[in-house]
Structure 1
Amino acid sequence: MTDLPELLEAIRACRACRRELPHAPRPVVQAGRGARILVIGQAPGSKVHASGRAWDDDSGDRLREWTGIDPATFYDPDRIAHMPSGFCYPGKGKGGDLPPRPECAPLWHDRLRAALPDVRLTLLVGQYAQKRYLPRHFAPNLTEAVHRWQEAPEGFFPLPHPAWRSRIWMAHHAWFETEVLPDLQARVRHVLKKDLPVG
């Protein structure tokens, strides 16, 4: 069985992409062995890089609203784990933040998931997480992947990234708020029940 504290220490000390970053690496991760929900996002933004806490920005506020998870639960590592596609802030590009660094997921994802035996629901937030964890031909784009959320492999739930642009996206896809979010919140409530069998 993987020693989780040792693994988290190794992730936080990782410098695999230091030559590719415009700043010192600061891997962001949260996990406890009892976590029931795993959030796989994109990569930390500048605010998260500064604070060192996952989803510590406007996107996090929106994600918590979507899921119905209060901040105390969201930041309890024995209930919610956070594992971005890229653990470090990649820096700015012409159209916003750069994509997650590709080194992270092959190095750490499988090991961290193996160390979280009680995870019952994995939120795939954004296209990078979905490309890695959904079947290859599941959907041609993010919108279709989210629209087919009920067909995703058991335990996985695709979501758009909750950046400010998601408000525009939601305005054009009313089914997300009326159909997807109620199901998401119901699943979240279910897996966080303390009496749910584990192991």
Structure 2
Amino acid sequence: MVADIDLLAEEITGCRICRDGPDGQCLPHDPRPVVKLSASARICIAGQAPGMRVHKTGIPFNDPSGDRLRDWMGVSREIFYDQSRIAIVPMGFCFPGYDAKGGDLPPRKECVGRWHDRVFATMPQLELILVIGQYAQRYHLGSRRGKTLTQTVQMARSLWQEQANPRILPLPHPSWRNSAWLKNNPWFESDVLPLLRREVQKYCCP
């Protein structure tokens, strides 16, 4: 299993499909896939796509969004980056570039079609997947998600109670741009975060 994970990670690291055979417009810079696979982690963080800082460093969630996510989870950087405890699989492995307004573009579609089913088939030990943002929620929840991101996150407790394997917990993106959303939805902090922290402690910090 470890060998399979290592081979797949090596394949992903060398992927250049969004530059050499893209589904639409070519990636505007050299690809740098950022993903952390694991043969032992019981938790996976499924986010959207790396930002520019992550693209430059190769370290996922190496930005203020990562600081907020670690606070939500109640874990240190040491635990967060311990690949034996936590896998990190964004919907797009490379920084997608900026839109006309200077915001990050959506995750590249090539990654889901080429990699995601293989990735999750190679990590059957996962027991909890944190799905961050609408793109990850669409892939991992499908028709089980709400009509909006807010509705889906409101379903966090009921989704967790479904006893699915692995269990799924939907989250908003921890970007500081979502501070207004967090202020307008105080139930997230009072209801979802305690569940998130309890589950994270159970699966990665026993």
In structure 2, the partner of 1:197 is: none
Question: Among residues 31, 43, 63, which one is paired with 1:25 in the alignment?
Answer: 31
TM-score by length of 1: 0.93
Give the CA deviation at 1:193. Answer: 4.4
| Correspondences of 1:92-171 after superposition (within 5 Å) | 92-95=98-101, 96-136=103-143, 138-152=145-159, 154=164, 155-171=167-183
Tell whether 2:78 aligns with 1:72: yes
Aligned partner of 2:10: which letter? E
Runs of 4+ with deviation above 3 angstroms: none
1-structure distance, mates of 2:76, 2:123: 21
Identity %: 46
Secondary structure class of the residue paired with 1:122: strand
Deviations 1:31-70 (A, max 9, x none): 2210111011000000000000111111111111111121
TM-score by length of 2: 0.90
* Structure 1, gaps ≥5 residues long: 195-199
2-structure distance, mates of 1:160, 1:90: 20
In structure 2, the partner of 1:62 is: 68
Give the CA deviation at 1:187. Answer: 0.6
Secondary structure class of the residue paired with 2:131: strand
Secondary structure class of the residue paired with 1:3: helix
Tell whether 2:181 aligns with 1:181: no
**Contact 2:86/2:204 (<8 A) preserved:** no
Give the CA deviation at 1:125. Answer: 0.4
* Structure 2, gaps ≥5 residues long: 21-25
Q: Which has the higher helix share?
A: 2
1-structure distance, mates of 2:81, 2:205: 16
8-17 or 102-111: which moved more? 102-111
In structure 2, the partner of 1:4 is: 5
Give the CA deviation at 1:137. Answer: 5.1
2-structure distance, mates of 1:55, 1:181: 19
2-structure distance, mates of 1:22, 1:176: 36
Give the CA deviation at 1:151. Answer: 2.2
